[in-house]
Structure 1
Amino acid sequence: MWRDTPEYLGELLIWEIEDYLTAQTAKPERARVAFIRLADEWAAASIGAELETGGSFYAAAKRADSLGMTTPGDMFGVVTRDEHPEIFKAVPGTTFPPAPDGDGYVIIRLVAFEP
């Protein structure tokens, strides 16, 4: 068994490299995201500033909700390339600055791309 271990590890490395290259060349059309939906410009500036200084996205969302700064809506969702093309130029974990959304503002965090 020990003689086959280097060969197996070599094959495993090749599979990991192939998966990585496939992920780099595939162009996903959907992404899973988290939202903080904010009621007004002041709330967006306040929470946006907290996130710019390295605050946790989820802690900021909880704080905004507890202070009545949020608007109704799902915290998690899926967006498409057509809806938010800028998201598909980022890496998972990226938090985007507040942007106008209907009557309020939204802060989006890219969670993952869907295959």
Structure 2
Amino acid sequence: MSHYLGELLVWEIEDYLRARSARPERARVARIRVPDRSAAEMVAADLEAGGSFYAAARRAIARGTTLPDDLFGVVTRDEHPEVFEAVPGTTLPPKREGEGFLIIRLVAFET
């Protein structure tokens, strides 16, 4: 198991370094859209406690605190430039977007 995790970490670092030099314009992300700051803080607390992004999304859905959105998607550099400064696997802090908040985890850059 630890060998696999080491390979995964190397892959994430290589993906990040490739993105820094190639400057991709698109990234695959997982996201949770919530209506307000308190819901965003609940999701952030779930994630800080060591839960997986998917499990935090499921709990937020079960609590009825999510807004309609796809769990997985693609974002562009113009839409979310902060994503392109992160390493794959990073969950970004909740960000106000429109009427609610968006929590994004960078999955991978598209090249």
TM bracket, shorter-chain basis: 0.7 to 0.9
Alignment partner, residue 65 of structure 1: 61
SS in structure 2 of the partner of residue 94 of structure 1: coil
TM-score, L = length of structure 1: 0.77
Structure whose CA Rg is larger: 1
Letter in 1 for 2:107: V
2:70 is matched with 74
Q: Is 1:45 equivalent to 2:41 in the alignment? A: yes
Calculate the aligned-residue CA RMSD, in Å: 1.8
After superposition, where does 1:70-109 map in structure 2 within 5 Å? 70-109=66-105
State, as a whole percentage, how many aligned pairs show the same letter. 62
Runs of 4+ in 1 over 4 A off after TM superposition: none
Q: Gaps spanning 5+ residues in structure 1: where? A: 1-19
Q: Which AA in structure 2 matches 1:59?
A: A
What is the identity, as a one-letter code, of the residue corresponding to 2:75?
V
Aligned residue for 1:30?
26
State the aligned residue count.
96
Structure 2 CA distance for aligned equivalents of residues 51 and 103 of structure 1: 22
Task: List gaps (5 residues or longer) in structure 2.
Answer: 1-13
Deviation at 1:53, TM superposition (A): 2.6
Partners of 2:86 and 2:107 lie apart in 1 by 11
Letter in 2 for 1:114: E
Q: Distance in 1 between matches of 2:46 and 2:62?
A: 15
